[in-house]
């Protein structure tokens, strides 16, 4: 069974899938869609293809731990994903993952469009790494 990490966004959704041992990130991709239903459908296809058994969706919280409108949108998305896949979907605090993803890409000379097309997959990988580390404890 693999675990999937998801960084849900308005136009792009980052996806990372673990290896079979659920110890490291195995693959990443980005879904380009502004439609929640289409994004959920594409994630369902990845779930089947990669034999995913659990999903962690990033929950954007403010730095003080409070939740805003974006967090409620992610909660709604997670509920739809859980219904569509029948899998357990956990919400995972994603504070600073996008900032960290930008820093990682800057260090590796990813700029402009190249970074824009990659940052969501890197953020999903960071969400997944954090969640996998939590599961090990």
CATH of the domain at 68: 3.30.420.140
**How many domains does the chain contain in total?**
1
The CA distances from residue 101 to 52, 91, 119, 129, in Å, are: 24, 19, 6, 12
Output the six-digit token pair for 104. Answer: 């990682």
Residue in 96, 90, 88, 100 with CA at minimum distance from that of residue 61: 96
Output the six-digit token pair for 84. Answer: 């569509």
Greater confidence (82 vs 68) lies with 82
**What radius of gyration, in Å, describes the C-alpha atoms of the chain?**
14
Q: What is the pLDDT of residues 70-122, one digit of tens each?
A: 899 999 999 999 999 999 999 999 887 887 887 888 888 877 777 777 889 99
Give the pLDDT band of residue 68 (cuts 50, 70, 90). confident
Q: Mean of the per-residue pLDDT values for the chain?
A: 92
Q: What is the pLDDT of residues 10-24, one digit of tens each?
A: 999 999 999 999 999
Whole-model pTM: value is 0.91
Output the six-digit token pair for 56. Answer: 């962690």
User: Which structural domain range is residue 128 located in?
Assistant: 2-136
């Amino acid at each position: 069974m693999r675990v999937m990490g998801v960084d849900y966004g308005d136009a792009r959704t980052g996806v990372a899938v673990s290896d079979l041992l659920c110890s490291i990130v195995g693959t990443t991709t980005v879904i380009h869609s502004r439609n929640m239903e289409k994004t959920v459908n594409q994630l369902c296809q990845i779930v089947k293809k990669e034999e995913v058994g659990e999903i962690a969706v990033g929950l954007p919280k403010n730095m003080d731990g409070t939740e805003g409108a974006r967090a409620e949108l992610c909660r709604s998305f997670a509920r739809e994903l859980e219904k569509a896949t029948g899998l357990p979907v956990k919400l995972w605090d994603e504070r600073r993952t996008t900032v960290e993803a930008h820093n990682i890409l800057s260090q590796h000379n990813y700029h402009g469009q190249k970074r824009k097309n990659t940052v969501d997959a890197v953020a999903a990988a960071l969400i997944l790494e954090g969640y996998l580390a939590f599961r090990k404890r």
